[in-house]
Amino acid sequence: MNAVLPRRVIHMTDFKKNPARAVRDAQLQPVVVLAHKRVEMFVLAPALYEALVERVPSDQIEELARRVNAGEALALCHESNGAAGAMPEGGSGLTP
């Protein structure tokens, strides 16, 4: 799976001072906002967010949200045929 690796990292203090800049910067590349050396959030362009959501089958979004909120590590499975969002037969498409 290809990862979206942000090139822009800012501290929460800077984000609070100028959130519009983070939103503007995120139009080109995701922005990571840190607080106390931990990732607090990602700022993404709407088109990128929509593209990411489209890769998750709609019947899996609720399960994905539940597992993320529970703090479980996740990986989305893709078949080797390269079909975007394709899930293995009989599988949930989510793996711990």
Average pLDDT over residues 6-20: 91
Predicted confidence band of residue 5 (pLDDT cuts 50, 70, 90): low
Structure tokens of 82? 């390269």
Helix, strand or coil for residue 17? helix
| Paired sense of beta strands 31-35 and 8-11, if any | parallel
Q: Which fold has domain 1-51?
A: YefM-like fold (3.40.1620)
Is the model more confident about 24 or about 70?
Answer: 24
C-alpha torsion sign, points 34, 35, 37, 40: negative
The helix (H) or strand (E) run that includes residue 75 is strand 75-76
Ranges of each domain in the chain? 1-51, 55-96
Which pLDDT belongs to residue 70?
83
Say how far apart CA 18 and CA 94 lie, in whole Å. Answer: 36
pLDDT at 72 over 50: yes
The reported pTM is 0.60
pLDDT at 2 over 60: no
